[in-house]
Amino acid sequence: MSTADKPVQRSGSLAFEVILKPATNDSPARPVSPPKSTRITLSEEDIKLKLQKAEERRLSLEAQRLEQLAKEREKAQEVLSKAAQENRQFSKATREKLRRSMELNKENREAQIKALQERLREHANHIQEVCQANENMGKVYEEKLVVKMENALRNREEQLQALQERLREHERRIEEVQKKKMTGQMDCGDAVDA
């Protein structure tokens, strides 16, 4: 039995390691470089032509880079102008919103001040009405008191007159009784004498 087929003990189970293919060392092969040939000699024209082509390639690459940079710059300018436009619009909208909010606050404040002034005016009018009512009530009470005192004086005078009348009547009766008593004594004295 090979090592690959040996059972591996684990807690509560049994497992096997199975190798399907033997291990190999397959590293990717290196690309074959072209064989180094003997040195080729180039003529002056070939060198100039190669230099010219290299210059054209360099100029072409530089033009492509410049064109790419110009596109990127143009795109950045568009983004910046769009951002600036959005910023201006946002700023304008915010200013307008702030202006409206301030106008509403001002209108609300003026309305509150007017309402407060109206309430104060009504309160002052009420105070004035209460003061006038108190003055009128004072006058009414004063008039009632004067009438009451006049009635009391009149009643007192009437009572005094009635009392004086009764006293006069009483005095008349006393005099009559005294006269009768005197005449009765005289009649009695005359009768006793007779």
Q: How far apart are CA 124 and CA 118, in angstroms?
A: 10
Better-scored residue on pLDDT, 150 or 9: 150
Quote the percentage of the chain above a pLDDT of 90.
50
Q: pLDDT band at 34, cuts 50/70/90?
A: low
Domain positions in the chain are 47-186
Q: How far apart are CA 148 and CA 156, in angstroms?
A: 12
| Through-space distance between the first and last CA atoms of the chain, rounded to whole angstroms | 199
Contact 5/16 with Cβ under 8 angstroms? yes
* pLDDT confidence of residue 1: 43
Tens of pLDDT along 73-112?
999 999 999 999 999 999 999 999 999 999 999 999 999 9
Q: How far is CA 9 from the centre of its chain?
A: 75
Q: pLDDT band at 180, cuts 50/70/90?
A: confident
pTM over 0.85: no
> How open is the CA angle 110-114-119, to the nearest 5 degrees?
150
Phi and psi at residue 16, in whole multiples of 5°?
-120, 145
Tens of pLDDT along 111-149?
999 999 999 999 999 999 988 888 888 888 888 888 889
